[in-house]
Chains A and B, each alone.
Chain A
Amino acid sequence: MSPVSRGFHGRRREPDADAKRVPPGQYVTTDFPVLSAGPTPHTPLEKWTFAIRQGGATAKSWSWQEIRELPAEDVTADIHCVTKWTKLDTMWQAVSLDTLLAQVEHEARYVLAFCDGGYTTNLPLADVTGGQAWLAYGYDGSPLQPEHGGPARLLVPHLYFWKSAKWVRGLELLAADEPGFWERYGYHNYGDPWREQRYAGD
């Protein structure tokens, strides 16, 4: 039973319709905060690739141009950061990971996303297929800015946003789960905002 915080009333700015879209412990922001563990990398587009790796080898790789020639979707999604902010109706231009993964033969059950700057994050394959996850390169009608993960980041809006890895450069296909960067530093392995899975053990 939580004690009542004397004199605290809160603001409750969200209309009721929106309140149902806000997971427990989150508040709505109209801003787009930035969180990352290190400096923002700046990889030139001509050197940028997105690779799917398997068993230590590259199974398939796309140049920036090749990614841009794949069918893109306009995705509207609510995003939820583990640091408590939620942003409703964010709009992205993105390629479905289904499109990319369909070009590789595999029997993987997990993926580990890898990024410029050394960041990694792990996801079950079931969470990055079936129209639930994208490689996003546009935000709100403009190219995705570097501080928000540009040129391209993952977009996996049904999980806390650290799973939507910035500056992503590929996916490693894995038979067994392997914790990524924040997952090794005590954050939850799966990260479902609706079950408030912020930290290990939640």
Chain B
Amino acid sequence: MAGTAVRGRLTWQIATVAAVRPETASVRTIQFDIPHWGGHEAGQHVDIRLTADDGYVAERSYSIASAPGEPLELTVERLEDGEVSPYLTEELRAGDELEIRGPIGGYFVWDGGEAGPPLLLVAGGSGVVPFRSMLRHRARVGSTVPVRLLYSARSLPDVIYRAELDMPGDGADVVYTLTRQQPPGWAGHSGRVDGELLTEVAWPPGRGPLAYVCGPTAFVEIVAGELVSLGYPPDRVKTERYGGVAAP
């Protein structure tokens, strides 16, 4: 049954930036200090609100990058045409304040159950953010649920959380595919995620896997469709699409 997500009013809370960490050339992870943060589940997101000195306000949603029980972290990719992401990735620094409310979303979440069907996580670009929360959560609670992350990135330097993902823990593995540029001697996968790669990497449907797919719209459309073609029931494929919006 649904409904673990949000009960009662979600109020805006003042969050102080505790630290900003570079992940790649265009991606930053921001850790916040929120005095009364009520916790979150792996896979949820928050809304943030920025206020200019003349009262102009902008709101956006971002996936939570940290595990339940850890300080709230958001990982933000700078979009060249963006209004908010350049501010968050280039201007924001420790000690700055902004407003956050959440956590939001009760569907694209994983509760970290000790036993359960294997998880397949398929990420396109910054779609990996909620999966970092899930993988850290899995390690923290000592879950033995087998997890496989298939992560499509443009190039190796574009891989977010690489040091962490290279050591995902027992029973978890991470498979990269690099779509635009591969380093010399790259022995991993190249090119976009397609039916052939999913056939090789995805858990067989007979094991009753649960799949989460997160990334740009076109990516999610293809991956989710291919998983259904492979025999995954549609209700075992949870998706989160980044919309491919030029604006945020």
Contact = CB atoms under 8 A, between A and B. Distances in A.
A54 interface: no
A56 B246 CA distance: 44
Interface residues on B, range: 35 or more
- Per DSSP, chain A at the interface is loop
B245 A31 contact: yes
A30 B12 contact: no
Contacts of B105: 185-186
Contacts of B7: 186, 200-201
Contacts of A40: 221, 224-225
Contacts of B58: 8, 10, 27
Contacts of A199: 6, 9-10, 104
A12 interface: yes
Interface string B113-142: 000000000000000000000000000000
B27 to A, nearest CB: 19
Contacts, number: 153
Given A2-B57, A5-B52, A185-B106, A30 B238 contact: no
A86 to B, nearest CB: 10
B51 A185 contact: no
B81 to A, nearest CB: 10
Interface residues of A, number: 46
A36 interface: yes
B244 to A, nearest CB: 6
Most chain-B Cβ atoms within 10 A of its Cβ — which of A8, A9, A85?
A8
A4 interface: yes
Interface stretch (B147-155, B196-204, B227-235): B227-235
A124 interface: no
A184 B221 contact: no
Contacts of A10: 50, 52, 56-58, 83
A3 B53 CA distance: 9
Given A7-B96, A83-B61, 18 more contacts: A3-B14, A3-B51, A4-B53, A6-B96, A29-B247, A31-B245, A34-B217, A34-B241, A37-B238, A38-B238, A83-B243, A118-B235, A184-B3, A185-B2, A185-B5, A186-B6, A186-B7, A200-B7
13 contacts: A2-B57, A3-B98, A5-B51, A5-B98, A10-B56, A40-B224, A40-B225, A84-B61, A118-B235, A147-B217, A184-B106, A199-B9, A202-B10
